[in-house]
A and B are shown apart, each in its own frame.
Chain A
Amino acid sequence: MPREKFQTLTEQMFYILICLQNECCGIDIMEMVKQMTGGRVNVGPGTLYNLLEQFNDEQIIKFTKTVGKKRSYILTDKGRQLLEKEYNRLLSQVTDYKKYMKGE
């Protein structure tokens, strides 16, 4: 997976990483994202599985433990930086919108 893939995050990636600030497994993430966004964002199991694998390969998250078939992960420092970078990018978009559309 090319590194530049995660230079900006999609909405689903963004929420998955937010969930992983605390240790949790894939099934928990699906439910948490749904709750956090009031059902607006839905992460499919295939997408989630592949994203977790790719995030882990890129050391954005790290594997913590396996209970049965469930694997838990947590955000790494690199993942936190990535999330912070995305937050700042979104914030500047909001600032620009306010500045140019609302005249604030």
Chain B
Amino acid sequence: MNKKHTYRFYSEYDTKGITEFLNQMATKGWMLAKKSGVYYRFVKTDKPFVKYDITYFADASKENDYLPYGADRYFEMAEAAGWQFVTNDNKMMIFVSENPDAPPLETEPMMKVDVIHQSFLLWIPLYLLHVVNGFIRIIDRRIDIYDILLIAATFGFLYDLCCYFIWYFKAKKAAAEGWYLETKTPFVRMYLMPVIMLVMIGMLCKILSITAGIFFIGVLLIYTMTAE
């Protein structure tokens, strides 16, 4: 097998968690080929050393893999510093380097926090939509067994959002003092969300029949694995 497919539920802003995961995979001989949301595809490599770094382009859009104006100049500067562009997942740009001494992409703490924040701001409406939807269902008492999972996911999103802002304000303060506060994916997001998703898929199988459920999961897997 020269390819490996896996899922990880890191927060979109958790550069540390994601790079650590990618670096760990690299030590096992797997190089990232594609990332799409929680889906990661790796290919086998025999390179002795690689390390990853992540930045965000707030102007990038996933629909057509459009990279914003100036991205080519950014890539050229990154290349001169020893970084190669690997792939982008929406606004997240992932770079790899074979040089252990390559400087990080972002060396100014305030700049790094701003880059993450500008990109994350665009996710907030989506988070709020989930949260508001969940609360409307609670207030209207239109809750059935399936909605409980939806509401659990809603609180997961709300928790994630709160964790983000706690990190953001602490990181701003730290950056003003000249150091960078590393990101961390909330426990709920990292371990509870996959469970909720699995239960939801299980319930879907129960409602629609096992065949329909397997078909749905198959379509989902094919979509994520072939997503370019």
B55-114 at interface with A (beta carbon < 8 Å)? 55, 70, 72-74, 76-78, 80-81, 83, 103-108, 110-112, 114
Chain A residue with the shortest CB-CB distance to B78? A45
CB of B178 to closest CB in A, whole Å = 8
Chain B residue with the shortest CB-CB distance to A27? B80
Q: Could you tell me if B115 and A48 are in contact, using CB atoms closer than 8 angstroms?
A: no
CB of B118 to closest CB in A, whole Å = 10
Most A CB contacts (10 A, CB to CB) among B55, B70, B108 go to B108
Pick the contact of B106: A47, A53, A69, A70 (CB < 8 A): A47
Contacts of A27 in B (CB 8 A): 76-77, 80
A-side binding surface: helix, strand, loop or mixed? helix
Contacts of B114 in A (CB 8 A): 50
- At the interface, yes or no: A32 with Cβ under 8 Å from chain B? no
Q: How far is the CA of A27 from the CA of B112 in the complex (A)?
A: 20
Q: How far is the CA of A8 from the CA of B73 in the complex (A)?
A: 27
Q: Could you tell me if B74 and A49 are in contact, using CB atoms closer than 8 angstroms?
A: yes
Q: Could you tell me if A47 and B111 are in contact, using CB atoms closer than 8 angstroms?
A: yes
Q: A10-B108, A30-B77, A44-B108 are in contact. List 7 more A-B contacts (CB 8 A).
A: A26-B73, A26-B77, A42-B107, A46-B106, A46-B112, A47-B105, A47-B108
The interface of chain B, by Cβ under 8 A from chain A, is 55, 70, 72-74, 76-78, 80-81, 83, 103-108, 110-112, 114-115, 178
A-B contact list, 6 entries, CB within 8 Å: A10-B110, A43-B107, A46-B111, A47-B107, A48-B77, A71-B73
The interface of chain A, by Cβ under 8 A from chain B, is 10, 12-13, 26-27, 30, 42-51, 53, 69-71
